[in-house]
Amino acid sequence: MDAVNVAIIYYSATGTVHALARAAAEGAEKHGAQVRLRKVAETAPPETINARVEWAQHLKDTADVTEAAHDDLEWADAVLFGTPTRFGNPAGQLRTFIDTTGPLWFHGRLANKVYSAFTASNTAHGGQESTLLALSNTFYHWGGIIVPPGYTDPIQFESGNPYGASHVAGAGAPGEVALEAARYHARRAVDVAAALRVGRTA
């Protein structure tokens, strides 16, 4: 059987969610999946970006990361979205990309895929769970199969978020617990997508 196709589509302003996305890509690849790591377009005005050195620097550092396209969603068997929290919701940059997918949804091209999400907030209790739940609303409309990490691996009892991999950015860059949780999150999505494929061909 062909490898599972996994699209990891994310937005990151200063690099925290980018680090989680790379860990998720690593987890999926080592689990045998074909992976596309994709960022969504930056929509913030230059003066806003340049007002924060770390934001401007991250934009330069990830200039070589391919931007997400509708083809990535169609290609994928499983899609993991990554976003920082913005007042308990996904970042506007990611929503802008998602809001262009109406034609794919209308023709049923987003249905029956595995979906999940990961996030970061600046503070503890900074809206992580509500951000992930808000993305699930979209997955319901698409007819997706939502696969959270749950408490299905020992790392989840260390990371503590059954909704999706996450990190408190105010504590610094993601450490090994957060990165391993992201790797596991992707592996679980790959496993479920593979099982679905087997079931459909049985």
Tokens of 176: 């090994």
Q: Where are the domains of the chain?
A: 5-201
Provide the residue type at 118 as one letter: F
Enter the CATH code of domain 5-201.
Answer: 3.40.50.360
Which pLDDT belongs to residue 79? 98
Q: Band of the pLDDT at 1, cuts 50, 70, 90? A: low
Q: What is the average pLDDT value for the chain, to the nearest integer?
A: 97
- Residue-wise pLDDT for 133-148, tens only, equals 999 999 999 999 999 9
Which pLDDT belongs to residue 202? 80
CB 11 within 8 A of CB 94: yes
Residue 201 has pLDDT above 70, yes or no: yes
Residue count (the chain): 202
